[in-house]
Every structure is written in structure tokens, then in C-alpha cells.
Structure 1
Amino acid sequence: MKFSGQILKMTTQNGKPIQYYLNLTQDILHMNQLIGKNLKWKLIGYECVSCGSDEKVFRMGFCKKCFFESPYASESIIRPELSKAHLGVGERDLAVEESIQLAPHIVYLAYTGDVKVGVTRETQIPTRWIDQGATFALTIAKTENRYEAGMIEVAMKEHFADKTNWRKMLEDDYEDQLDLADFRNKIKDKFPENFKNFYSDDNEVVRLDFPYEAPKKISTVTLEKNPEFEGVLRGIKGQYLSFEGGTFFNVRAHEGCVVELEIKAP
């Protein structure tokens, strides 16, 4: 079978294991059903996730123009503490930014090979944790907007990383319960004074079950350097497809790429 279309990040459904679906324009492929199949990929072009132009993807699925102009690629997307919508101040498009920033947000701890801190809209739980490949996750604060969550994250970054180390995440296949609540309790006093009221002592540690086993070695492949490649799909974690021999394909990093995908028997 052959399919073609623009790659977008995989959508997910939490379960045991998590179910993954690859978006290819007109088709949605249930990736769990393709584990054990040989997948052949071919890069045939680009399509900006914002304007639809066929210019080469610059970053995050955007062409260069949209990356510097779209409100969905603004600086506060990466750095929540820079949010200004709560002040009525827009960066690129105030209406869009208000829809993103003036909503309840969560500050969380997640285990992705190491314990990290992160921020996301409340409606993005547990999707955000799944996309990051978090084995365990725990809410540490619930805020009214993105700015408040960002300020708490800034303080927590003195104690935890705020970026996922993708290699550690893929190498790790942690089986035992990790006491994230103990981590949270130890940093309670580190919350910024003006934001202590957002602290959450919800003790529910969420465990996520990926269709994945860590390989002995890890390497990555990109369509930019390898416009054609194929391999037998062995598992999925985060937004990474794991192929036989320890080769990984980061789906999210290829948003905006237009591909032909052929599914063959192993």
C-alpha cells in the first residue's frame, strides 16, 4: 500500500499501550497496527503548516516567513514567561494569543530519562506528556494563564531541566515507580512568593505505557539527509518511530515535509 501527504505530528489516544495515528493529509494511519511492517519513506516536497507554501520548512513545520510572523510560532510558545496577553499586549496577533495564553495552564514534573519541569495548557494533558515520551508525570501547579505558569517554570528551572534529552528518553525503559511527589514536596518552598497559591498537592502520578522497548543502540535518520529510507517498525515513544537496528525517525521534526509512504511486508 502507498500513501502520500504532508506530515503532521502523530495524534494519540492514551491507553495500555498508547495508540498512535499518523496524519498524512487525506489519510490517518494507525501506527500501532504497522509495528512489524516494513515502511519505505520518500521525501517529495514541502508544505508549510501555516500558509501551505511549498518553500522548504524552516522550523517547527513553518516556512521562514511564517516562523517569524505566525502567532503560533511566537516567542511565548517557547518561553511562557514572556506571555503578555494577560496585559492586553499582543506579540503578533492578540486574539490568537489570548486564546492560547488566557487559559488554565499546568506546571508539571515529568520523567523522560531525567526529571524535567514543563508547562502546558490544561487541555493538553496527557497529550503533552505522551509527545515528550514521559514515563511518569505529576502536576505541581495549576494557574489561570500562561504567564503565571511560565514564571513558576523559570523558578523551577534552577532545580530541574526544562528540555527533554531525547537520547536519554529513548534509552530509558524505566519499570519501577518513580516518586515524583517527593521531588515536588522538596521544592514547594522554592515557588516564587507571588505564585505559591498555584501550588498543587495532587498526588496522582500518571504512568504512561508506550508500545516500545529500548534498543541496544540509538541513531537517528532525517529526510533532509536521507530523502529515501526504509526499515521495519519496532515501536513508538514520544513522537519517535523506532525501527529495527535502533534507527529512529522523529515525526514532529518532519512536520511540513510531504512524503510518499509505502507499507510492505517485513
Structure 2
Amino acid sequence: MGKIIAIANQKGGVGKTTTSVNLAASLGVLEKKVLLIDADPQANSTSGLGIDVETVEIGTYQLLEHTNSARDAIINTSTPNLDIIPAHIDLVAIEIELVDKENREYMLKKALEEIVDDYDYILIDCAPSLGLLTLNALTAAHSVIIPIQCEYFALEGLGKLLNTIKSVQKIHNTNLDIEGLLLTMYDSRLRLSNQVVEEVQKHFNDMVFQTIIQRNVRLSEAPSYGESIINYDASSKGAVNYLSLAKEIINKNS
């Protein structure tokens, strides 16, 4: 059975989409069959893999509405072993539309049941909020990766997210694990970056991935070409970091 991993943090700009796209591509290159689900109305994972958001007809929105099956929504990407269920701006409306529905937190979980065995890993790029979309992702997932930026307010909001995860574990998904905390945007020259790393490792020790994602120009350039870092510049520091993370996750789950 495939492992479903949500990538979540209600703070924006912490490297969620960068991690979703590049971890998915790295797992694909390491010969795992991967599906990336874009569950963020900004649809950055979709455009980051070279798909024109305007042309998306069936995506995460239809999945949550149960008007189309997951198989209908899957698009192949140019990255080896990587498929995507894209997003579109209409995903913004889903929280309002689901609000009166019964079992509204389980819509994604139900939609994924038919394809969970088709993949080794299913990654969900969550919206930067703790709304119904993220709740659906956490209810459907087996585990969650939390990206944490190596900056001053890094730990702000982390408590809130961990509390949300606890309540999801209690009410909706008793099997939800924390796959790990991922330190992103690390700059070894900055004392602050090093302090954040120490602080996070001290507080959360085993929960923190050994791999740290360093600040890397190529990493921020890649999405504008609609490519993962693996396709864009496989020798860059960013590619090396994400391949290392992918190996760490494979080892952890083997």
C-alpha cells in the first residue's frame, strides 16, 4: 500500500511547495512511483511542474466534490515516475461548499481509496492555513512533514500546528504520525540559521530530519521554468539536499 504524506504548515513561505515538488521528483528519480496532490488554491505545485493552471479541468476540487474519480484527475508529468493531481483557483471555494456536507473532513480520504495501492508515495501539498482543505489532507494522510524555515519566527505557530495534528489524531485519524520536521532555507553563514537549527533539534530531537534544505538560487529559479530541481539542475545543492531527504524517507519506511 502507498504511503500518504501531507506537507503542512499554516505559515506561508516556509518551503512547503518547494518541498512537495522536489521531494516528489526525488522519490521518482529513486524509482518510487509517486503521486503529488496539489491541495493549495494557489496551485504552485501544478505550475511548478510545468502544467498550465488555466487548462486544468479536473483536479483536487472535483476530487473533494466527488464529481470525478481520482483516476480521472491524474496527469503524467515530464519527471520520471511522477504523476500529479493538479489544482485550480476554484479550489478557493471548496471550504464554503463542503461546510454543510456530512463527513466533510473525509472527502479526500475517500477519494484516494481507489488509487492508494497504485503508488509507493502520495504527497499532498497543503494550503498555508489550518482550514478544511488542510484538515482533509491530514485526515487522509498516514503522516505529515512540517517544513520549518531557519528564520527568527520559525517556531511561532508550530505549537498551533502540533495541536491541530493532535486533535486530528484524536478525532479523525488515529493513525496520523509526524514523519518529521524539515529545516528549510538554511544559510550556514547566518548565526540565526544555526541558532534555529540548534533550538529545533534540542526541542524535537528525533522528530527532526537529518537532511537540512539549504538556501539555493537554483531551487528558487526552477519553478519559473516549470521544472523540479532534479530536471532543472541535478547537480545543484538543492537537488542534492532533496535527494538526501528522499533517501532518508525511503530508509525510514522500508
- TM score, norm. by length of structure 2: 0.30
Question: Where is the helix percentage greater, Structure 1 or Structure 2?
Answer: 2
- TM score, norm. by length of structure 1: 0.29
The structure whose Rg is larger is 1
Bigger relative CO (Cα 8 Å, ≥ 6 apart): 1
